[in-house]
Amino acid sequence: MSLLQIRGVSKAFGSLIAVNNVTLDIEPGELRAVIGPNGAGKTTFFNLITGFFPPTSGQILLDGKDITRATAVERIRMGMARTFQITQIFPELTTRENIQIAAETAMGFRLRTWLSRAERAAVSSRIEETLVAARLTEQADRLVGELSHGDQRSAEIAMALALKPRILLLDEPTAGMGEQETFQVAGLIRRLHKHTGYTIMLVEHDMRVVFNLADRIVVLTEGTMLAEGTPREIADNPAVQAAYLGTAE
Amino acid sequence: MLTLILFNLTNGIILGLFYVLMALGVSLILNLSNVINFAHGNFLALGGYFAFSLAPYLGYWGAFIVAPILIGVLGLIVEQTMIKRVYARPHVYSLLLTFGLSFIIQDMCRTIWGVNGLPLSIPNALNSPLSNQFFFLTGYRIFLVAVVIVAVAALFAFLGFTRVGTRIRAGTFDLDTVSALGINIGLLRALNFALGIGLAGLAGVLAGGQIGLNPNMGDNLVLPSFIAIIVGGIGSLTGTLVGGLVIGVASALTSVWWSAGSNVVMYILMVVILVARPRGIMGEEGMMT
Amino acid sequence: MSTTTAPQTAVAAAPGQRWLHLVAIWAFLIAAPLWMGHIGGYDALYSRILIFGLAAMGLNLLLGFTGMMSFGHAAYFGLGAYGAGFVLRYWIHSTPLAILCGILLGTVFGVIFGALMMRRTGIYFAMLTIAFSQICYYFAYSWNSVTGGYDGLRGFTRAPLHFGSYVIDIRDNGLVFYYFVLAIFFVCTALMGALLRSPLGRTMIALRENPQRARFLGIPNEQHVWIAFAISTLFTSVAGALYALLNNFADPTALYYVISGNIVIMAVLGGMLNFWGPLLGAAVFVWLEDYISSQTVNWMSFIGVIFVVVVLFFPRGLLGFVKRRSA
């Protein structure tokens, strides 16, 4: 069964239809990219899935359970984790503390004022594990607000990883980054996908990133799904070339 | 009994109008600049005292016109020298700043005009009751109602139909976009602040003729005006207008049967509104988050 | 509040350094009454500093650590005072019970009002805190038969502490009372420090740093704001209860919004990003207020100027550049 099922989802803001009747399924272990020119409704689509706001119509299922009306927090408890187009971190805390907050919340300790020795050890080992996965061990005790853009993005992804999500949702993970940092973050995403087997859906503007990473690509234009297929198929699709590749890049 | 109800109702409407004038000023500043002006009541008192000191030279009518304008100018100066420096900072700073200003202005009034109450004399023409049975319907009260109606109508007309007014409303809704359109936000906020403070000055002149002058005269009006804003719906100026009248009349009607209850009913109203309709009577959903 | 230029060492002091700081602070607090008389201090003033320091540190759990602006903490301070006063005046001559009931009264209202406010943020949250504190003030002011109205609740004294046959006379000896307040202050700051180093405390800091990020890690913002608010009111009401014991009365001015403003300025003046900042702010503010009000009738202007000067020129407070997050 598909991990995430999106069935005929639409979102209207007043008379503006930002997302129009999108249907797609994401399989476990898949890395799916959603691309489209600016204003194609990518971020709105992403926000619908993560529970930022509810869709006007349609249905979203995670693991077969209807989450269309679930709050953001409920969705996260059910195994979603997301990052944002503009990196969202706790800037005045260290990288370790950023990850610690995520880990403690995911482990159900967020209301606790005291942890047993075993619980503390469990938290620490999840933090270390996450730091290693995101290659942030060196930066663990620096303020995350002082890190480079690339490391900040890695830290944000690490916070999502610390939740041990079923599906990782990344909103333009390389937005606003230089060559080197894009390479760093794309490398992290690839490792997570290939080596750790995470199911990932990402929205992206940078075509190079997407064509090298994704198993399958969905193209959105004006809120509608224009095409779906492997990177090869998408690159060869004349409609996509006309609507997106020809004009935007 | 009818006379008693009418008496209280009149008082309630008068009080409600003061709440409205105060709350509209506070609300203007809150909506556009995200500043809660604690000193609003002190600007009110200052308005009354200015009128008191100007009246011997300009006559009542001259003072009536000039005092609120001077208060508005003072507001502009305060905004330009102090308030505008904290817009970009966390809210705690603007609160503390207006709080400190409120202390300073109150102490100034006390030092210059004395701790004891002073009367603000009004023209004899306004002073006599219209009839013996309805002794509480003095000419001054009718005048007061008329002035407030004209002022509120002028304010809404200004916001609705002039270019600056439209920009203020747009800025309340989405400041970033207004700024992106190349409109000078700093100037807009300064004018808006002066306008809000000017309304407090006008309220002060009117209140001086009704209840007399004392350095704390604004204190009893500030907090109810906050409640009027919450009840009416934060972010909506029409809501503030409605909120002020609702709590004014509700307090007055309650005091017909239970004289100490006039404040209680105001608070109960606020809590009920917060539970049943968190955004207030006219507030937009988006404004609350 | 940019940190990009803050040196690394200022962020998280090494554990050894932290102990050194703690020892220095406590040594100072214990020794203060023994020598500060020479610079114009007196026992009641020291106690008042500790009490307002505690109130401001309680507020700062919300203001500095959760990033929520309360301008209505006088309500919980005053309710704490009245709660303690009610016990001593109407029920039983017991200091511990008085403190407990003060805490209970303040915190219960903190929980109730917090529930009505927890969905709001920013300036609107602040506005509601003001309105709710005004409700409390109004009731204290007008419910004459119970609260004593304008004159306040009078006619009680704090009771000496009895441990079996051993009696500690906190009633007639101001210095002993100071150490009693200090002991409670110690317990409270230890609890606050532990809270901030716990998972719950970290969620509060997370809310300050980035509420949206917190929500999308699975932290329901509203619930945590509510809890933080309640905890904050708890500590402020402890301070209020002690305030009633210090004065041997509770009056409506303890609930007035002026006290709310004073508590906030103490936190900001000392440095709200520092755990001990509010205590330092309280010491400076209370001392200045005491001195100025004895020197001039225009003390209100001076206090007002302190507010303006702090806001415009020292927004980060005295300890603003020492950025340790917890004890």
A90 CB within 8 Å of a chain C CB: yes
Of B32, B37, B95, which to mutate for an interface test with C (greatest number of C Cβ within 10 Å)? Answer: B95
**In order of start, what are the domains of chain C with their CATH numbers?**
8-313 (1.10.3470)
**Closest CA–CA distance from residue B90 to any residue of chain C (Å):** 9
Confidence of residue C150 (pLDDT cuts 50, 70, 90): confident
Q: Is C14 helix (H, G, I), strand (E, B) or coil?
A: coil
C35-86 pLDDT per residue, tens = 888 887 888 999 999 999 999 999 999 999 999 999 999 999 999 999 999 9
- Cβ contacts below 8 Å, chain B against chain C, sum to 117
d(CA B131, CA B117): 29
Partner residue facing C304 (CB), from B30, B103, B274: B103
Confidence of residue A188 (pLDDT cuts 50, 70, 90): very high
Residue B134: predicted pLDDT: 66
Confidence of residue B132 (pLDDT cuts 50, 70, 90): low
| Total domains in the fold of chain B | 1
Of C59, C66, C127, which to mutate for an interface test with B (greatest number of B Cβ within 10 Å)? Answer: C127
**Whether residue C5 has pLDDT greater than 50:** no
Is there an interface between C and A (3+ Cβ pairs < 8 A)? yes
Q: What's the rounded mean pLDDT across residues C305-321?
A: 87
d(CA C70, CA C60): 9
User: Is residue B213 a contact partner of residue B119, using CB atoms and an 8 Å limit?
Assistant: yes
CB-CB neighbors (< 8 A) of C63 in chain B? 92
**Closest CA–CA distance from residue C200 to any residue of chain A (Å):** 5
**In order of start, what are the domains of chain A with their CATH numbers?**
1-79+165-249 (3.40.50.300), 92-164 (no CATH)
CB-CB neighbors (< 8 A) of C199 in chain A? 101, 104-105, 109-113, 115
Q: What's the rounded mean pLDDT across residues A13-37?
A: 90
Confidence of residue C325 (pLDDT cuts 50, 70, 90): very low
C12-31 pLDDT per residue, tens = 456 778 888 899 999 999 99
Higher pLDDT, residue B280 or A130: A130
d(CA C324, CA B44): 43
CB-CB neighbors (< 8 A) of C200 in chain A? 110-113
Which residue, among A20, A25, A26, has the nearest Cα to A8 in the 3D structure? A20
Residue C83: predicted pLDDT: 95
Contact B107 C300 (CB under 8 A): yes
**Whether residue C327 has pLDDT greater than 60:** no
Of A87, A88, A139, which to mutate for an interface test with C (greatest number of C Cβ within 10 Å)? Answer: A88
Residue C14: predicted pLDDT: 63
C174-204 pLDDT per residue, tens = 899 999 999 999 999 999 999 999 999 999 9
Give Cα C238 to chain centroid, integer Å. 8
What domain range is B170 assigned to?
Answer: 2-288
Partner residue facing A72 (CB), from C12, C195, C216: C216
User: At B20, which CATH number?
Assistant: 1.10.3470
Residue A114: predicted pLDDT: 92
**Which residues, 6 or more positions from A179, have their beta carbon under 8 angstroms from its beta carbon?**
none
Q: What's the rounded mean pLDDT across residues C143-158?
A: 85
A32-69 pLDDT per residue, tens = 999 888 778 888 998 999 998 889 999 999 999 999 99
Q: Is B25 helix (H, G, I), strand (E, B) or coil?
A: helix
Contact C199 A88 (CB under 8 A): no
Least reliable range by pLDDT among A17-21, A197-201, B128-132, B148-152: B128-132
**Which residues, 6 or more positions from B149, have their beta carbon under 8 angstroms from its beta carbon?**
none
Residue-by-residue DSSP string for B33-45? H----TTHHHHHH
Contact B106 C300 (CB under 8 A): yes
Q: What's the rounded mean pLDDT across residues B43-65?
A: 92
Residue A244: predicted pLDDT: 65
ipTM of the complex: 0.91
Of C65, C213, C216, which to mutate for an interface test with A (greatest number of A Cβ within 10 Å)? Answer: C216
CB-CB neighbors (< 8 A) of C192 in chain A? none
CB-CB neighbors (< 8 A) of C3 in chain A? 91-92, 143, 145-146
